[in-house]
Amino acid sequence: MNTFMETNEKNSTQEFLGELYKNVKMGSDAIVNIMPKVTGKELRQELTAELNRYEEFAKEIANEITSAGNDPKEENILAKLGAKMGMAMNTMMDSTDSHIAQMMIEGATMGITENTKLIHEYENKHCSERSLKLARETVAFMEDSVERMKNYL
């Protein structure tokens, strides 16, 4: 592979991983933000396990980013604050396990959509297979999460 192609692949991979990292951290932040409202023991355990898995993904992705000499970047503070406020408003009137599960399903579905779009966009940009594999794993995890959350509806 020539130097231009290598540079192009590295740039595409770093862009891709940066977006994937933001998406995974958003899922993690959502669970952290909603956890104080969760009263059901089983749902709390489920969300704790999901949070741990999101953090594992974030760490893996961050390691890939830093190994190329870059720093992982999270969503800007205004976006994070907006998401937190939205969750607070959404649970103000209804913080039942069923409603929280519904919110988590909606959030995971958005994550699935965003990550799937990313995969399709970057598959043709010579992104590293390792980064694409990580993204596919996050999508599969989010899809499983949706199925698990349906038990609480």
CATH placement of domain 3-152: 1.20.1260.10
Q: Around Cβ 72, how many Cβ atoms within 10 Å?
A: 19
3-37 pLDDT, tens digit per residue, is 444 555 578 889 999 999 999 999 999 999 999 99
Secondary structure letter of residue 74 according to DSSP: P
In sequence order, the 6+-apart residues with CB closer than 8 A to the CB of 132 are 16, 119, 122, 123
Find, among 91, 71, 118, the residue nearest to 30 by Cα: 91
d(CA 48, CA 115): 22
Q: Domain boundaries in the chain?
A: 3-152
What's the pTM value of the predicted model, to 2 decimals?
0.86
38-54 pLDDT, tens digit per residue, is 999 999 999 999 999 99
